[in-house]
Amino acid sequence: MAVQSLELLYLLVRKDLKVRYKSSVLGYVWALANPLAFAFVYWVAFKYIMRVEMENYSLFLLTGIFPWFWLSMGVTHATRSYQNNASLVKKVRIPRAILPMSNVVQEMVHFVFALPVIMAFLVFAGGFELRASWLWQLPVLLLLQFAFAYAIALALATSNVYVHDIEHLVGLGFAMLFFVTPMVYPITMVPEELRGWFELNPLHALMDSWRGAFLAGSLDGATLAYAAGWAAALAMVAWLVYRRLAPGIGELL
């Protein structure tokens, strides 16, 4: 990607972040509030009321929910990125693939800003230690999830210009995947005859890797490779979809 495009990406992301927090007093706190509030609600529901038997359940929730919010929010916002920036598609000539990317990057920035908070929970609530291995594990996972999220975002954003129903399906899809991935209970609780199917879900591989890195300081090679394989396949599909559909979106918006 040319330097000029990177600058455009940077300016678009900065614009969105600036605009989002300019008029709110708490600013950055809001970026944390959503995942934290969700984690708290699930903690009450599943630990306190349903009594899930699991060590460090609150940390299990937190270390999954933050990357999940990045993925789901990034893809959900990106799906409408061409509609929301119609004048940039119709009236000027920019590399169109940048628009959904700016949504994914924006949510990634939130996630990166939230990393110290996650680590604070691990240290103070869980008694874990900060790990040197995070220095390479977290960047690897950041890169992997970025590829994953961007591939999905690009394909959905482009197709959504043609078939508007996609944006509704995306919200629904993430709501269901949240429970199937699973985010609020360990996969070991899934009945054995079904577990194999659950494990095929690439989002499970991704989220499991985050948890492994945060909680155990380890990355499972096979899980990682499985997620990376999916990311590569999705990238290929996204590229084909984009190449086929993107030239026509200027006249459809």
Partner 1 sequence: MTAALECRGVWKSYASRRIGLKTLLLGQRAARTSRYARRWALQDVSFEVSRGQAFGVLGANGMGKTTLLSVLLGIVQPERGSVSLRGRVASLLELGAGFHPELSGRDNLFLYGSILGMRRREVAERLRAIVEFSELGDAVEEPLRTYSAGMITRLGFSLMAHAPADVFLIDEVLAVGDARFQEKCRAHLLEFKRRNGTLVIVSHDMEALAALCDEGIRLDMGQVADAGRIGELIGRYQTQ
Q: Which residues bind partner 1 (CB under 8 A)?
A: 3-4, 7-8, 11-12, 15, 18-19, 22-23, 85, 87-94, 161-165, 247-248, 250-252
Tokens encoding 234: 């999705």
Tokens encoding 196: 């194999």
Closest approach, Cβ 169 to partner 1, in A, equals 9
Q: Do the beta carbons of residue 9 and residue 102 sit within 8 Å?
A: yes
Nearer to partner 1, 30 or 136 (CB): 30
Nearer to partner 1, 23 or 188 (CB): 23
Nearer to partner 1, 15 or 195 (CB): 15
Nearer to partner 1, 27 or 139 (CB): 27
| The one-letter amino acid at 28 | Y
Closest approach, Cβ 107 to partner 1, in A, equals 19
Tokens encoding 220: 């499972």
How far apart are the C-alpha atoms of 236 and 242, rounded to whole Å? 10
Q: Which helix (H) or strand (E) holds 20?
A: helix 3-22
SS3 for 235? helix
How far apart are the C-alpha atoms of 111 and 76, rounded to whole Å? 16
Closest approach, Cβ 180 to partner 1, in A, equals 23
User: What phi and psi values does residue 40 have, to the nearest 5 degrees?
Assistant: -65, -45
Closest approach, Cβ 221 to partner 1, in A, equals 41
Task: Kindly calculate the radius of gyration of the chain based on its CA atoms and give it in whole angstroms.
Answer: 19
Nearer to partner 1, 6 or 112 (CB): 6
Closest approach, Cβ 150 to partner 1, in A, equals 20
Closest approach, Cβ 160 to partner 1, in A, equals 10
Nearer to partner 1, 217 or 250 (CB): 250
Q: Do the beta carbons of residue 104 and residue 150 sit within 8 Å?
A: yes
How far apart are the C-alpha atoms of 247 and 96, rounded to whole Å? 9
